[in-house]
Structure formats: C-alpha cells, structure tokens
Amino acid sequence: MTLTSFAFLSQETDSLRIVEEIGTHAPRAEHGAGALFAELFEHVQDSHDMEIPLFGHVHLPQFPPIEIAGLSIDLSITKHVVFLWIAAVMLGAIAVAAARSNRKRSVPHGLGNLIEVIVVFVRDEVAIPNMGIGGIRYLPYLLTTFFFILIMNLLGLVPYGSSATGNVSVTGGLAAIAFVMIQVSAIRAQGLGHYLAHFTGGVPWWLTPIMVPIEILGLFTKPFALCIRLFANMTGGHLVLVSMIGLVFLFKSYAVGVVTVGFLVALNFLEILVAFIQAYIFTMLTAIFMGFGILAGSHETHGEQDH
C-alpha cells in the first residue's frame, strides 16, 4: 500500500472515530454550534491525556511546576511531547536502517535509496544554492530539520496520532535552534568583528542608535516567521477537517454529509502534500537565512583580497 493510500485510510479512520465520539455527546451538541465545535477542536489541541488502542484514555504523568526567576515552568508530559519523542525515535531508527542498508550494498536499494535521494536533493537544491559550497558543513542540521518536521507532520495522519508541529511551543523550539544556527554560521563565516559591524548597516555614526535596534529586531523576526508559519499551516489544516465534520451534525442532512465526505477525501490528500511542503519550506528558509550571513562573509573576504 502506498504512503498516500495509507495516510488517507488512517485519517479517515481517525475522522470516523471522532464522529463516533461526538455522536455519543449529542445532548451537549444540542446546546449550540459552539459546544459542538468546542468538542471537535479538543481533538486537535494538546492535552494531558492520550487515547491508546486497547487501553482507552491514558493519563500522562504530571509534575509540579518549577519556579525559575519568578517564572513557572511546567515540565509535565503532554500528548504533543509524546509524539515529538516518537518522531525523534523514528528518525533515529530510519537513519540507522538507511545507513546500514547503503553500507551493505554498492548501489543504494529500498529505504537507503529513498533517503539518499532526499539527501542529494537537500544538498544540491537547498544547501549549496543558498549557502554556497561552505554550506555543506551544515547539511546534517538541515537534513535533521527536514526529516524531523516531516515525521511530526505525518504522525498527525495516522489513527490516534497527533502533529506536534501544531503546537507553537514545538515550532518555537525549532525556530530557536534555527536562530542559533543562523547566528553561529554568520559569525564563523564573517568573524565576530565583521558580524557586529553589520548592526550599524554602514550608515553615518549619528544614525547608529536607530539602526542597531532595527538590526537586532531583524534577527528575531526571521525565526519568529518560521515558528508561526509552520504552526499556522499545520493547525489550520486540522481545524478545517474537524470543522467540516462538525457541519454534518450542524445541518443534520444527508446531502451535506455526502458533500462533506467528498471534501474530506480531497483534504486528506492535500494534508499529505502540506506535510512535505511545510518541512521543505522550513528547511529552505533556514538555509536562506543562514546563507545571508555565510555569503556576506565570503564576499567580504574576496573584496579584501582584491584590494
């Protein structure tokens, strides 16, 4: 069975499970559309409970909040944390399996061949065009980012699954790592002195108090855009799916149900495409932002040599 067929059947199974559960709460839904959609949206939100086949609802461990400098930090395990761990384990298992497969054969085959195709694509179409030949050293980070996000996105398409990338804390963590890599790559390529000199933007000294805050703000807008873009796209798709399921109960019409099922079929296939596209976009934009600093350093080096 192809990946597309598996994901479609998985999502349909999950949708039917949600419909069945919502049907059992029909009295609550009768209080209005708001109560119905609130019930539906619970299935795309993070929670301290997970539904596991044969075990039913499982309450995840909770820990007392940690107080640090007046801030309360909750390190309790949630559903999205569990699926983030699952994605990390799957990524490690797939990488090891692909490496062992390619090591045993002179010509890549099966899973090893598939992974090599993606690795070559990210190297030749993402890293080198945007970061130059020096971007090869950051290829492991870009590949890890792409595969990790892709697996988390696809986990939301399996029965009882959830997309951790639909949590702004997860996408914020990915963006924070991207922020560090963007700055580190720029400093390594330019040197600390040239890196700090860019904060003035080359303007007269009396404009420095204006330019420095603007440049500092610009450092954070790039990863912030990465965070919100991934979160909004992954959350939006799931909200559309559950909203369309809610239309069946809202209108209580067979005609609406038939049309809704047709749209759900199309959206399920679209969600598979979106999972790949969002992983690609996050990786591509990260490479572009890193390339700004790396290529700026190489241009300055060539300019000094010409003089």
Residue 56: what pLDDT?
77
Domain count, the chain: 1
Domain that holds residue 87: 3-306
Q: What is the mean pLDDT of residues 223-235?
A: 91
Are the C-beta atoms of 280 and 117 separated by less than 8 Å? no
Alpha-carbon distance values, 285 to 49, 130, 133, 261 (Å)? 34, 9, 17, 35
pLDDT, tens digit (0-9, with 9 covering 90-100), for 90-124: 999 999 999 988 888 777 788 888 999 999 999 99
**Tokens read off for 87:** 């994605």
235 Rama sector, left if φ>0, alpha if ψ -120 to 50, beta otherwise: alpha
**Tokens read off for 110:** 């099966």
Judged against a pLDDT cut of 80, whether residue 192 lies above it is answered with yes
Judged against a pLDDT cut of 50, whether residue 26 lies above it is answered with no
Q: Which of 195, 215, 225 shows the shortest CA–CA distance to 288?
A: 225
- The half-sphere exposure of 193 on its side-chain side, counting CA atoms within 13 A, is 1
CA–CA separation, 33 vs 31, rounded Å?
7
Residue 25: what pLDDT?
46
pTM to 2 decimal places: 0.80
> Tokens 């990465």, residue?
226
pLDDT, tens digit (0-9, with 9 covering 90-100), for 147-165: 999 999 999 888 788 889 9
CA–CA separation, 4 vs 2, rounded Å?
5
When the pLDDT of each residue in the chain is averaged and rounded to a whole number, the result is 80
Judged against a pLDDT cut of 60, whether residue 39 lies above it is answered with no
Among 180-189, 244-253, 293-302, name the one with the lowest average pLDDT.
293-302
pLDDT class of 259 with cuts at 50, 70, 90: confident
Judged against a pLDDT cut of 60, whether residue 300 lies above it is answered with no
CA max distance for the chain: 80
| Strands (E) located in the chain | 49-52, 56-59, 66-68, 71-73
Judged against a pLDDT cut of 90, whether residue 262 lies above it is answered with no
Judged against a pLDDT cut of 80, whether residue 130 lies above it is answered with yes
Q: What is the mean pLDDT of residues 17-32?
A: 45
**Parallel/antiparallel/unpaired status of strands 49-52 and 71-73:** unpaired
278 DSSP assignment: H
Residue 33: what pLDDT?
52
Q: What is the mean pLDDT of residues 40-56?
A: 75
What's the distance, Cα to Cα, between the start and end of the chain in Å?
Answer: 62
> Tokens 């499982």, residue?
58
pLDDT class of 38 with cuts at 50, 70, 90: low
- Checking 108-111 for CB contacts under 8 A at 24+ apart, the result is none
Q: What is the mean pLDDT of residues 70-90?
A: 90
CA–CA separation, 92 vs 84, rounded Å?
13
What are 59's strand-pairing partners? 49
